[in-house]
């Protein structure tokens, strides 16, 4: 029928094109809007997808000079980096312990770890918010630095666990026979071999912290302490008016690099995911 | 003096007893083979000697010291795994040097020893490569070089030839034995391949169900197997077993020959052999068929060397002879070897 | 780092914790375990305690224990709306995602030039922080300036601005009011959820498709089975575990999400038409400061979460056996 006339390949391309348009057109628009002149933008009759008036970098200047966006960026990066460090320190040894040393307990605890990840921030944010106040961390990025590992650590431990299990154990045992203590074998053999997995969890930890919204919203109200996800959606307003172009600019500046990195690490992520999820 | 000794070694995994009472001694410079099918406990035994598993019961002595509570690094053993376990992220040089670095030797010391070990196995030209760039045979040599470089008390080899092509295996067998002779290292070798075991072992321990069925030289195992398991595990084709009354008779395929050929038999036992199939293999012929004049009709194999040119055809019954001194006797219930049993036997009539 | 082999001068070996697997297992696990138990376990217990108390930001003491909070919450029509919305949004969006992900994953199985770029575009919605992606849609669905409305107008589906006498085919107005009309607002929220979750499910299904052995595909070719039958009787059964995983993850992330609703509609149009449990809890708990009611609201997510967790456990156990 249709297939025979157009060929399977064409149908494929058609389907893919539809999905690509669906996924990407908001970003296409965000890109255009970044440089749109306000007079052009706020005319409903104007074609929104082209420049009816020449493009301008005014919105970018506004974004970087007159809003707290640079502060949002810096805060996001600081939170991301520190949370990554904390996560690695906690999750890498834990993953090894569960993958290699804990026997059948390891399996069960690993599943338990994963279940903890399934407890959503939206369940805990109210008591968390109280905890943050009690610890005196309200309105500081420290609140996020302390709390975010509660979801990055379980996820990364589980992911790394699956990854480490896929590394054959005879290389570590060889190191034991070759004259190293278990600790020495971990450091000199397992750790180098696990680097790809560690790299993957660095990437995903960073992006997980960037995505987080409700904790950031609940913990921090001071403007210059906000991160991108909360800052862009709540701060780029004057009164009732959104700085639309700047908001779009703010968004696309963040979205594109992250998507590029996701694309690069996707295969690794899938490998870890299927190792952990389907094979339990 | 025994370099390695195990006393009453047992290992339990949950409710499975993988090793159920193994007593071994390995003498200085001896090449002892642990032979058995998969799951018999031979690898577990070796791992306990290496220190990678803790015995549930029993003791292990290496060079006179009790090593039960010592970690692998304190036992002065070297091990080669079936997969060779080369460190993928290190060069061949660093792989071989790795055990020496654990000893905190000087750089020059290390270089000297690595080059010595590499020279011994002819891999000096591969030192800067990474494991993934090597062939199977080359990887095996690197693993061996790494094992010898520390001059250990004991070599533990876990099926090191099973990953090689069949063609390479015979050659590798020869080389390996020669290295061992050269170095004079006490060696424990684990395999499921009885050809390897018979060809390389000074003594062989046949293991099944976590226990040693028989420990002896290859000749002892082959000529006087201690039970039917050993009897049918060795030899290709394995020993023929025929049940008669309360005992089992065993004889090797090469010991049952046409009567005309086996004229020098001391104490001939005649058997009517109905041949059902002939396999021509060049150096010998395998005759598959049935004997029914001793006990129930039983399928057996006879192996005739090519020098015997007698014409044998499937479908016919022939008069074959086994020398009674080539017979092994086993108890029907315990399957253990027993003394020869006298029995009456009518030479079967040869139908045409 | 003690890695010394006992040298050939036969010194006695001193037992060290560095060799002890048991000690190391505990030592290496403790930091993460303590951290998680403390910072997840304690708030979890607190959430339950709050729900059975009357804590507010003004009166944060846990001094009374009562079920009045639950009563109040359950009787609140806003809560009831939020609860049913939660289910509506999750079920509809995940059903759609499941179907769409399979179509897209099937289309992406072959390699073609530019696949990397296509993957990049498809991943954008998922890679972008949720809030950022949603705020892009905010303009897309604007009541006056929506580019979608503009397209519709030029296709005749809506009335053109400033033109007399013309009637829109879809709607007799210049704009759809995506976020202003209750039904359309719900549709919009569901649409954005589908948009952001589709890449994740597609990726998971793609992984599943590649794990199907090529031998099976060859066998199907030889048997001469049509593509629909192949999909229904061969691919689908083999994909079932992976589809379950994708579905379960999708359910969790959609059911517990508040970002899309909060950024897109703040729960409106009034009165709280598109609220979900989490966004309502935020408004009640943080904005209004009624911690107990907020906590009680989100506790209703637990049964579904537990159910999902149990199903996942069963899948994990089953695949362990195989």
pLDDT in tens, C286-313: 888 888 888 999 999 999 888 988 888 8
| CA separation for the pair A25, C122 (Å, rounded) | 11
> What's the average model confidence in pLDDT over C136-146?
87
Contact (CB, 8 A) for C157 and C167? no
Kindly tell me the sign of the dihedral angle through the C-alpha atoms of B299, B303, B304, B306. Answer: positive
Burial class (CB in 10 A: 0-12, 13-18, 19+), C231: middle
Is the peptide bond between C269 and the residue preceding it cis, with omega within 30 degrees of 0?
Answer: yes
Closest in A179, A181, A182 to B99, CB measured: A179
Q: C101: pLDDT confidence band, cut at 50, 70 and 90? A: very high
Mutate to test the interface with C, among A30, A119, A256 (most CBs of C within 10 A): A119
| CA separation for the pair A69, A91 (Å, rounded) | 32
Give a yes or no: residue B228 inside a domain. Answer: no
| Nearest-by-CA chain C residue for B104 | C4
Q: Could you tell me if A102 and A192 lie in one domain?
A: yes
**pLDDT exceeds 50 at position C1:** no
Q: Could you tell me if B57 and B97 lie in one domain?
A: yes
| Nearest-by-CA chain C residue for A17 | C118
Q: Could you tell me if A35 and A110 lie in one domain?
A: no
Q: Could you tell me if A84 and A129 lie in one domain?
A: yes
* Residue C12, min C-alpha distance to chain B (Å): 9
Give a yes or no: residue C38 inside a domain. Answer: no
Per-residue b/e over C60-70, b at no fewer than 16 CB within 10 Å?
eeeeeeeeebb
Give a yes or no: residue B58 inside a domain. Answer: yes
How many domains, chain C?
2
| CA separation for the pair B80, A149 (Å, rounded) | 42
Last residue of a domain, one of A17, A38, A56: A56
C107–A15 C-beta distance less than 8 A: yes
Report helix, strand or coil for A255. Answer: helix
Q: Chain-wide mean pLDDT for chain C?
A: 85
| CA separation for the pair B299, B186 (Å, rounded) | 42
Give a yes or no: residue B327 inside a domain. Answer: yes
Q: Could you tell me if B200 and B273 lie in one domain?
A: no
pLDDT of residue C7: 42
Q: Got the DSSP string for A138-182?
A: TTSHHHHHHHTHHHHHHHHHHHHHHHHHTS-THHHHHHHHTT--H
How many domains, chain A?
2
Which domain covers residue B96, as residue numbers?
2-223
pLDDT of residue A67: 84
Q: Could you tell me if A142 and A17 lie in one domain?
A: no
Q: Could you tell me if A73 and A6 lie in one domain?
A: no
pLDDT of residue A244: 86
The C residues from 26 to 85 touching A (CB cutoff 8 Å) are 26-29, 31-33, 35-36, 39-40, 42-44, 46-47, 50, 60
| CA separation for the pair C21, C23 (Å, rounded) | 6
pLDDT of residue B292: 85
How many domains, chain B?
2
Mutate to test the interface with B, among A173, A179, A184, A198 (most CBs of B within 10 A): A179
pLDDT of residue C3: 42
Give a yes or no: residue B174 inside a domain. Answer: yes
Q: Could you tell me if C152 and C230 lie in one domain?
A: no
pLDDT of residue C164: 63
Q: Which residue has the tokens 């890695």?
A: C3
A177–B52 C-beta distance less than 8 A: yes
> What's the average model confidence in pLDDT over C224-250?
83
Closest in A170, A179, A182 to B81, CB measured: A170
Q: Enter the tokens of residue C153.
A: 């107008």
Q: Could you tell me if A138 and A219 lie in one domain?
A: yes
* Residue C107, min C-alpha distance to chain A (Å): 5
Q: Could you tell me if B112 and B33 lie in one domain?
A: yes
pLDDT of residue C6: 42
**Tell me, what CATH number does B163's domain have?**
3.40.50.300
Q: Could you tell me if C159 and C224 lie in one domain?
A: no
Q: Is A186 on the interface with B (CB under 8 A)?
A: no
Give a yes or no: residue B347 inside a domain. Answer: no
Q: Which residues of C touch A89 (CB under 8 A)?
A: 31
Residue numbers of chain B with a pLDDT score lower than 70: 1, 344-352
Last residue of a domain, one of A39, A56, A73: A56
| Nearest-by-CA chain C residue for A23 | C122
Apex A113 CA angle, A109 and A115, nearest 5: 115
pLDDT digits (tens, 9 = 90+) for B261-313: 888 888 888 889 999 999 999 999 999 999 988 878 899 999 999 998 889 99
pLDDT digits (tens, 9 = 90+) for C167-185: 667 777 778 888 888 888 9
Report helix, strand or coil for B331. Answer: strand
The half-sphere exposure of A177 on its side-chain side, counting CA atoms within 13 A, is 33
A251–C122 C-beta distance less than 8 A: no
Q: Could you tell me if A106 and A143 lie in one domain?
A: yes
Give a yes or no: residue C40 inside a domain. Answer: no
Q: Could you tell me if B298 and B264 lie in one domain?
A: yes
Q: Could you tell me if A212 and A261 lie in one domain?
A: yes
Q: Which residues of C touch A229 (CB under 8 A)?
A: 129-132, 259
Q: Could you tell me if C84 and C204 lie in one domain?
A: yes
**Tell me, what CATH number does A200's domain have?**
1.10.3720.10
Q: Which residues of B touch C22 (CB under 8 A)?
A: none
The B residues from 97 to 116 touching C (CB cutoff 8 Å) are 99, 102-104
pLDDT of residue A272: 64
pLDDT of residue B141: 92
Q: Could you tell me if C166 and C307 lie in one domain?
A: no
pTM, two decimal places: 0.85
Residue numbers of chain A with a pLDDT score lower than 70: 1-8, 238-240, 271-280
- Listed in sequence order, the residues at least 6 apart from C321 whose beta carbon sits closer than 8 Å to its beta carbon are none
Q: Is B152 on the interface with C (CB under 8 A)?
A: no
Q: Enter the tokens of residue A48.
A: 């929104």
* Residue B300, min C-alpha distance to chain A (Å): 43
pLDDT of residue A44: 80
Q: Which residues of C touch B106 (CB under 8 A)?
A: none
Q: Could you tell me if A222 and A94 lie in one domain?
A: yes
Give a yes or no: residue B40 inside a domain. Answer: yes
Give a yes or no: residue B349 inside a domain. Answer: no
Give a yes or no: residue B345 inside a domain. Answer: no
Which domain covers residue A97, as residue numbers?
61-276
**Tell me, what CATH number does B313's domain have?**
2.40.50.140
Q: Could you tell me if B241 and B213 lie in one domain?
A: no
B79–A174 C-beta distance less than 8 A: yes
Q: Is A183 on the interface with B (CB under 8 A)?
A: no
pLDDT of residue A239: 64
The C residues from 215 to 244 touching A (CB cutoff 8 Å) are 241-242
Q: Could you tell me if C260 and C310 lie in one domain?
A: yes
Neighbours of chain B (3+ CB pairs under 8 A): A, C
Give a yes or no: residue C215 inside a domain. Answer: yes
Give a yes or no: residue C157 inside a domain. Answer: yes
Q: Are strands B268-280 and B256-258 parallel, antiparallel or unpaired?
A: unpaired
pLDDT of residue B351: 37
pLDDT of residue A100: 87
Which domain covers residue C189, as residue numbers?
76-141+178-321
Q: Which residues of C touch B151 (CB under 8 A)?
A: 8
pLDDT digits (tens, 9 = 90+) for A190-246: 999 999 889 989 998 998 999 999 999 999 988 889 999 998 888 877 666 778 888
Last residue of a domain, one of B223, B251, B269: B223
| Nearest-by-CA chain B residue for A170 | B85
* Number of CB pairs, chain A paired with chain C, less than 8 A apart: 303
């Amino acid at each position: 029928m249709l297939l025979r006339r157009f060929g399977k390949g064409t149908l494929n391309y058609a389907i893919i094109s539809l999905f690509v348009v669906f996924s990407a057109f908001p970003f296409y628009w965000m890109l255009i809007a970044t440089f749109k002149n306000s007079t052009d933008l706020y005319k409903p009759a104007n074609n929104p997808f082209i420049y009816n008036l020449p493009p301008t970098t005014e919105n970018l200047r506004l974004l970087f000079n007159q809003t707290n966006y640079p502060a949002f960026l810096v805060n996001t990066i600081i939170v991301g980096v520190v949370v990554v460090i904390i996560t690695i320190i906690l999750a890498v040894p834990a993953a090894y312990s569960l993958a290699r040393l804990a026997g059948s307990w390891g399996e069960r605890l690993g599943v338990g770890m994963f279940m903890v990840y399934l407890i959503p921030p939206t369940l805990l944010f109210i008591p968390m918010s109280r905890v943050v106040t009690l610890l005196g961390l309200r309105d500081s990025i420290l609140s996020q630095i302390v709390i975010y590992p509660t979801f990055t650590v379980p996820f990364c431990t589980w992911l790394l666990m699956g990854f480490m299990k896929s590394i054959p154990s005879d290389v570590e045992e060889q190191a034991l026979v070759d004259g190293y203590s278990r600790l020495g074998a971990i450091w000199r053999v397992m750790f180098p071999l696990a680097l790809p997995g560690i790299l993957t969890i660095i990437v995903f930890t960073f992006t997980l912290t960037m995505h987080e919204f409700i904790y950031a919203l609940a913990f921090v109200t001071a403007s210059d302490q906000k991160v991108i996800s909360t800052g862009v959606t709540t701060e780029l307003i004057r009164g009732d008016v959104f700085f639309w172009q700047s908001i779009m600019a703010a968004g696309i500046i963040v979205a594109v690099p992250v998507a590029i990195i996701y694309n690069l690490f996707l295969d690794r992520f899938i490998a870890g995911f299927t190792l952990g999820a389907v094979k339990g | 003096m025994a370099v390695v000794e195990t006393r009453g070694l047992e290992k339990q995994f949950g409710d499975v007893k993988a090793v159920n009472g193994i007593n071994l001694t390995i003498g200085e410079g001896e090449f002892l083979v642990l032979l058995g099918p998969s799951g018999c406990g031979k690898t577990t035994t070796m791992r306990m000697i290496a220190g990678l598993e803790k015995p549930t019961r029993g003791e292990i002595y290496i060079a006179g010291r009790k090593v039960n509570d010592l970690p692998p690094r304190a036992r002065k053993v070297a091990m080669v795994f079936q997969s060779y376990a080369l460190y993928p992220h290190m060069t061949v040089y660093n792989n071989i040097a790795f055990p020496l670095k654990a000893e905190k030797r000087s750089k020059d010391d290390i270089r000297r020893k690595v080059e010595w070990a590499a020279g011994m196995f002819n891999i000096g030209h591969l030192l800067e490569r990474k494991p993934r760039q090597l062939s199977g045979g080359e990887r095996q040599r690197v693993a061996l070089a790494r094992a010898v470089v520390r001059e250990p008390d004991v070599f533990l080899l876990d099926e090191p030839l099973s990953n090689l092509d069949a063609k390479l295996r015979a050659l590798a067998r020869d080389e390996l034995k020669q290295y061992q002779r050269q170095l004079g290292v006490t060696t424990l070798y684990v395999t499921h391949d009885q050809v390897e075991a018979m060809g390389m072992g000074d003594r062989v321990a046949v293991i099944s169900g976590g226990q040693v069925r028989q420990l002896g030289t290859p000749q002892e195992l082959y000529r006087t197997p201690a039970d039917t398991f050993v009897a049918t595990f060795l030899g290709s084709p394995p020993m023929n077993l025929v049940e008669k009354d309360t005992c089992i008779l065993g004889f090797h395929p090469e010991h049952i020959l046409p009567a005309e050929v086996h004229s020098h038999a001391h104490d001939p036992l005649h058997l009517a052999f109905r041949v059902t199939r002939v396999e021509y293999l060049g150096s010998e012929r395998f005759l598959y068929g049935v004997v029914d004049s001793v006990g129930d009709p039983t399928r057996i194999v006879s192996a005739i060397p090519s020098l015997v040119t007698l014409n044998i055809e499937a479908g016919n019954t022939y008069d074959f002879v086994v020398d009674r001194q080539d017979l092994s006797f086993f108890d029907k219930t315990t399957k253990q070897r027993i003394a020869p049993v006298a029995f009456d036997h009518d030479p079967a009539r040869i139908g045409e | 780092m003690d890695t010394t082999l006992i040298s050939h001068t036969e010194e006695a070996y001193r037992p060290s914790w560095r060799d002890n697997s048991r000690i190391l297992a505990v030592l290496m696990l403790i930091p993460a375990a303590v951290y998680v138990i403390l910072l997840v376990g304690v708030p979890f217990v607190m959430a339950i305690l709050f729900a059975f108390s009357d804590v507010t930001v003004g009166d944060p003491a846990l001094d009374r224990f009562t079920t009045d909070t639950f009563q109040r919450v359950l009787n609140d029509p806003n809560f009831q709306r939020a609860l049913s919305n939660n289910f509506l949004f999750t079920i509809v969006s995940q059903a759609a995602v499941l179907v769409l992900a399979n179509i897209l994953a099937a289309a992406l199985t072959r390699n073609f030039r530019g696949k990397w770029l296509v993957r990049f575009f498809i991943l954008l919605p998922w890679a972008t922080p949720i809030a950022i992606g949603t705020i892009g849609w905010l303009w897309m669905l604007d009541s006056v300036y929506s580019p979608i409305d503009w397209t519709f107008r030029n296709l005749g589906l809506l009335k053109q601005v400033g033109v007399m006498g013309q009637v829109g085919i879809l709607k007799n107005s210049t704009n759809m009011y995506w976020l202003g009309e209750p039904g359309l607002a719900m549709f919009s929220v569901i649409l954005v959820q589908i948009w952001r979750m589709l890449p994740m499910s597609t990726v998971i299904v793609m992984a599943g498709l590649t794990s199907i052995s090529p031998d099976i595909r060859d066998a199907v070719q030889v048997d001469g089975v049509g593509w629909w039958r192949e999909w229904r009787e061969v691919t689908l059964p083999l994909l079932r575990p992976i589809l379950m995983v994708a579905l379960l993850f999708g359910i969790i992330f959609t059911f517990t999400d508040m970002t899309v609703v909060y950024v897109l509609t703040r729960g409106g149009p009034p009165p709280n038409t598109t609220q979900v449990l989490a966004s309502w809890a935020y408004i009640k708990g943080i904005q209004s400061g009624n911690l107990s009611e907020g906590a009680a609201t989100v506790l209703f997510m637990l049964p579904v979460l537990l159910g999902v967790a149990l199903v996942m456990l069963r899948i994990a156990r089953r695949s362990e056996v195989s």
